[in-house]
Amino acid sequence: MTASSGLDSPATATEGQPPLIEVRDLVKHFGPVVALAGVSLTVRAGEIHCLLGDNGAGKSTLIKTLSGVHRPTAGDFLFEGKPVRFSNPREALDLGIATVSQDLAMIPLLSITRNFFMGREPVKNRLGPFSFMDMGAADRIVHEDMRRIGIDVRDPQQPVGTLSGGERQCVAIARAVHFGAKLLILDEPTSALGVAQTSMVLKFVRQVRGKGLGMIFITHNVRHAYAVGDRFTVLNRGKTLGTFAKSQIKLDQLQTMMAGDKELQELSAELGGTV
């Protein structure tokens, strides 16, 4: 698959517009536990914004707040310049904030097509209480989408379980894109994948950016983040340590910042910065 060079550069035509999503000093408490203690983040259309942080840094809480699962305790939350407050994930989804979670919301035994359109089946015609699925159109859409990803010459009716992990991830992302996501939250899309599978997913993520979608790429693998990210926000103990454009920061600096703790930094240095 050859991605054309136009797809690779971040879209910069969105400067004048308000960012897709903007949160300022976001705070989230669960009873006495302070999960987020003032997080600020902006994501523009056409950028891949990497959210880095170790376990317990608040990544999950942040994305669950952004996607409408949790309601923030305090702070500003704007979508396309307008303040929003979601009472459930459906509302966020309707605005175009889609989350591709680690479990992918895919059923291995079902065909790719059935998974792709699960809950949003294309209807051809109705007879009494039954709406007939337009399976032909659904298969064509899936086949076309898969071809674009680079999973060609495969049967859209084959079970998702027969796909590799990377392919499954790509299908889940393609599904969100197809159903009109503006902001895509990718939760650790590469954490369980091998090298070849990872590069496949990263390539596809870059391709999706070319369509002008904004993406939040959550990972604790700095290398994966640096490979595709335009900007990086590091989260530590419920706070943002800052946001950096790719030109401002190097891979090892990012690694160091993420490691946070001094001992960990030393250990990381000892191990050659590969942790």
Partner 1 sequence: MQCFGFTAMAESSSAETVAAGRRDERLMRQSRLRKFLGRPDLGALSGLILVFVFFAISARGTGMFAADGVLNWSTVSGYLMIIAVGAALLMIGGEFDLSLGSMIGFAGMMIALPTITFHVPITLSVLLAFAAALTIGFLNGLIVVRTHLPSFIVTLASLYILRGLMLALSILFTNRTIVGGVKEAAEGTFVAFLFSGTIGDSLFAWLADHDVIGRLPNGAPSVKGVPMPIVWALAIAFVGHIVLTRTKAGNWIFASGGDANAARSVGVPVDRVKIALFMLTAFCAAVFAACQVLEFGSAASDRSLLKEFEAIIAAVIGGCLLTGGYGSVIGACFGALIYGVVQQGIEFMQVPNDWFRVFLGGMLLIAVLFNNLIRRRIMSGR
Give me the residues that bind partner 1 (CB under 8 A), please: 89-90, 101, 103-110, 114, 117-121, 123, 129-133, 135-136, 139-140, 143, 147, 152-159, 161-165
- Of 232, 235, 259, 222, nearest to 58 by C-alpha is 235
Distance CA 230, CA 173 (A): 19
Cβ-proximal residues to 182 (8 Å cutoff; 6+ apart), any chain: 20, 45, 95, 96, 97, 213, 214
Q: Which is nearer to partner 1, 118 or 245 (CB)?
A: 118
Residue (136 or 242) nearer to partner 1, CB: 136
Structure tokens that stand for 8 in this block: 């690779």
- Give the distance, in angstroms, between the CA of residue 1 and the centroid of all CA atoms in the same chain: 22
Nearer to partner 1, 142 or 225 (CB): 142
Q: Write down the least CB distance from residue 111 to partner 1, Å.
A: 9
- Phi, then psi, of 180 in degrees rounded to 5: 80, 30
Residue type, 140: R
- 39's enclosing H/E stretch is strand 33-43
Instruction: Report the nearest approach of partner 1 to the CB of residue 124 (Å).
Output: 9
Q: Which is nearer to partner 1, 9 or 158 (CB)?
A: 158
Residue with tokens 């190097």: 250
Minimum CB separation of residue 76 from partner 1 in Å reads 27
Q: Which is closer to partner 1, CB of 151 or CB of 234?
A: 151
Q: How far apart are CA 225 and CA 119, in angstroms?
A: 32
Q: How far is the CB of 173 from partner 1 (least distance, A)?
A: 14
Is the separation of the CB atoms in 23 and 38 below 8 Å? no
71 vs 147 by CB, closer to partner 1:
147
* Minimum separation from the CB atom of position 185 to partner 1 (A): 14
Tell the smallest beta-carbon distance from residue 135 to partner 1 (Å). Answer: 6
How many CB atoms within 10 Å of residue 274? Answer: 8
